Chains A and B, each alone.
Chain A
């Protein structure tokens, strides 16, 4: 490659490129040397900024890329895997589901409301950019210890921010997860997921084709907000993280609603050649990626970019992360149609450049070239690191003898259902409009949210899952379990699991222990995805979630999507009637290692997580889904955090909103034929298990089917009464459990600080 002449210096004085300036852009000496070698000259200030964001961890995946490549991404129903704005699966009848999950962790700690709100805004754009109408939002939140002074402020702000954005734009937030651990003090996680539906024949991609075609900017004006957000997200926090507040963007959901409607209307006219939203690294990342994917070049006239502040420099315009902005290449002659639609929706738009065949990003301002960079190296020559990693030493299995004596089981149960992790999250999801679009057929609180595909009988089931305490104990098993649990939750509502998106939240990849957690989790995820035919179609990596050297628990959040066919049945977790038989599906050995019971009741985080048999997982899940399809079960719930007794309690608690609660009575195994202590049977977190209820008349059919499928199944009790009763071991009223379950979060949020 010949070295072109350096661009002219812009009118305004720019800082000279010094070692300090390079370092402050998060680039290492080696990386900078590589930039000089690629250009054959020193970059100017704007170009340095562009390299720094394109080569940031956030945009380049430089530490994770080699491992992400090991994940399975294909299946006959996958239309588009990772690499685009979102992944796409075929859901039949010429329709496609488009989804992705993304983190907005760092901004949400610094400025909880705006950080979370813009996380939702960003993931919504990723979905409608592809021509899909967003139909559901989900999220997964992790906060620090409830005892930490800042936690309440973070919850209040994050929840209000997620609601503030989604409620205004009118896309229902149908569910999510919210858990707590001191490891997230200073590094809370906000993972936001959006699912959209598109016509499979009308999907829009980002490859900029058509030399000479107009490059159009639409949406909010560019301001100075969020400059270097991607770089911030690629560094760990120290105590000065508050000072980073100016790097957080401000969301405007009303504008996004207009941009959304305008884009979907424009897409229907067939005017768009390629389109990309401006997310992390703003105009830089969108224009470079579009040109790279199209194998073309792009020339931008920065004087024509709509701005909302005066005297913005090329550097600021290119690096701004102002929200609600889209970049598109129009088909020739369609500029007028686009203008008319944008005007109707009062969305600012401007032709700011054109596609070229130069393979270069050329920036002009004031009639001078202020930046001129080869596209391909910005993307493809980004450094790729094979970071050293340390596999964690295997943990010792739990020695029951070392544990304190078990409290009475009903006491433990009341504490668990009223604990921060297992309590009702109603206080959160009642702040989200989860019903707008009038297709939410399973509201928050179940195993998975279920939304109808508008105008059809088909339904999409959506869940977000991860068990970080398993991931830290055994990363490979934890990664696999997160995938298996998502698959299980979808199966539990009767959906056929189709694909996942992932949001991989970890500490600094420069620490070999953290890198070891990452590698283990990804390998485990891949194994489970292959065993369950559950490919990864999109995702995001968030490293550097650590403060003052303390990393978060490894948290590979999985967002799973499944389909319930038009004729198919859906299950919910609430018991439906008294005097039905309660059955436990799946084998129980009583694994308490790394369990919630062990942590929250016995005060220990030791032990190894329950083993995961992916073949049994698949067999049991397929079996349960079959029962639901045949209409043989009246309620279904997977057994997860807290084990069997918590699962039973949750099925009874879910009956409370409808009026008189329906209780349950079960008979634990007789001590004589039970090697494991009772607590292990009640609270152990053995995998691949479900609880179902069924009319007594159907039980023989279910048991015969279980034998035929080689699936363990046993009748353990009956529904009815107003209590959860353990034969010979006590009872607790559902009303009392309900009070504990519903009470913790509102009381915590309302308590004086």
Chain B
């Protein structure tokens, strides 16, 4: 299996994703500079977290226009799986790969902590390592993670089983106190129509090592890698 991680100016989780993927794959993914207009042959593309272009305009808005993104969008449309984490999720919405957008957190403050996620749908490359309804733990670290879309879009996402994760209590209940950013309907991650693109604010690569306090992220990455051969 071959993976590619796109690196934008201001990406800062690119190394973390590389380390976690390498642990799962046994060899490092290709690191692709944003200015490249071609991508190497890849079975998985990762858009990593960070502050591309400082997030000075609107999170992800400038990175969505990077030369490498044209190719990412084309590959995604051709069915190549894309895992878009945090700033990557923001970039994916700005690039039209996923609906909706990520606004400033309701608290207007950056938030970094472990959160509990309820797996909403397990029939996908990214989530079939989990059971639907299972509660997993991964960290968030963002200032703009407040997912929003219009009601029709949200209804469609729900009808089409395209909500991947929701923020929840350790017991799996949805509650305001368990939602770190005010996301509408507690949404933490969503799929595209074919469930080959996953955008999520939590960072699976940050709990992919027992010494860091958990391995739910590793479970997810290992399974993706295994499934893609």
Contacts and interface: CB of A to CB of B under 8 A. Distances in A.
Contact of A435 (B10, B56, B139, B143): B139
A134 to B, nearest CB: 12
B113 A168 contact: no
A635 B109 CA distance: 33
Nearest to B7: A261
Contacts of B12: 168-170, 257, 436
A170 B50 contact: yes
Contact of B16 (A254, A434, A438): A438
Contacts of A160: 109-110
Contact of B9 (A254, A431, A432, A452): A254
* Among A160, A169, A170: residue with most chain B CB under 10 A: A170
Given A168-B51, A257-B10, A346-B9, A437 B109 contact: no
Interface in A128-182: 160, 163-164, 167-170
B54 A438 contact: no
Interface in B37-88: 49-51, 53-56
Candidate in A163, A164, A430 with the most chain B CB atoms within 10 angstroms: A430
A434 B112 contact: yes
Nearest to B16: A438
B51 A435 contact: no
B129 interface: no
Nearest to A430: B113
**Most central of B10, B19, B53, B139 by chain A CB within 10 Å:** B10
Given A167-B141, A433-B141, A345 B112 contact: no
Given A167-B141, A168-B10, A258-B9, A437 B110 contact: no
Nearest to A254: B54
A537 B212 CA distance: 30
A432 B49 CA distance: 15
A545 B113 CA distance: 35
A168 B112 contact: no
Interface residues of B, number: 32
A584 B21 CA distance: 44
Contacts of B141: 167, 433, 435-436
Chain B interface, >50% SS class: mixed
A410 to B, nearest CB: 28
A438 B50 contact: no
Contacts of A169: 12
Contact of A441 (B109, B206, B212): B212
A440 interface: yes
B193 interface: no
Interface string B185-229: 000000000000000000101101101110000000000000000
B164 interface: no
A718 B35 CA distance: 61
Nearest to A434: B112
B101 interface: no
B110 A441 contact: no
Contacts of A429: 112
B2 interface: no
Contacts of A163: 110
Contacts of A273: none
A253 interface: yes
B58 to A, nearest CB: 14
B23 to A, nearest CB: 11
A527 interface: no
A170 B13 contact: yes
A111 interface: no
A347 to B, nearest CB: 10
A295 B167 CA distance: 61
Most B C-beta atoms less than 10 A away, residue of A160, A167, A432, A433: A433
Given A169-B12, A435-B112, A437-B15, 15 more contacts: A160-B109, A254-B53, A254-B55, A257-B9, A258-B10, A430-B111, A430-B113, A431-B110, A432-B112, A435-B203, A435-B212, A438-B16, A438-B20, A438-B205, A441-B211
Interface of B: 9-10, 12-13, 15-16, 19-20, 49-51, 53-56, 109-113, 139, 141, 143, 170, 203, 205-206, 208-209, 211-213
18 contacts: A160-B109, A160-B110, A253-B51, A254-B51, A254-B54, A257-B12, A345-B9, A346-B9, A431-B109, A431-B110, A431-B111, A434-B112, A435-B112, A435-B141, A435-B212, A437-B15, A438-B209, A439-B212
